[in-house]
Amino acid sequence: IMEPAHPLARNKLMVARADFLIATPKTMKEVMRGSGTWATIRYARKADIPILLLPR
């Protein structure tokens, strides 16, 4: 269980600890601002973490 943290900091930490990411963004078109889900997907891409994107 993780300690409470700012959402973006928490998401970076989750990616740092992950072997893979499963993401279900509201839209499959990448959102550059205002989407923590897409920010987390970008963190995972930079970290070369495998990603499974599932539409809602």
Tokens 């269980």 belong to residue: 1
Q: What is the rounded distance in angstroms from the CA atom of residue 29 to the CA atom of residue 25?
A: 9
Name the token pair of 29: 């078109």
Q: Quick: pLDDT tens for 4-26.
A: 999 999 999 999 999 999 999 99
Amino acid identity at 51 = I
Residue pair 20/50 in contact (Cβ under 8 Å)? The answer is: yes
Tell me the pLDDT band of 43, cut-offs 50, 70 and 90.
Answer: very high
Q: Return the pLDDT at 3.
A: 87
How far apart, in Å, are the Cα atoms of 6 and each of 13, 40, 46, 52?
A: 11, 13, 20, 24
Share of residues in the chain with pLDDT > 90 (%) = 93
Give the mean model confidence (pLDDT) for residues 31-40: 95
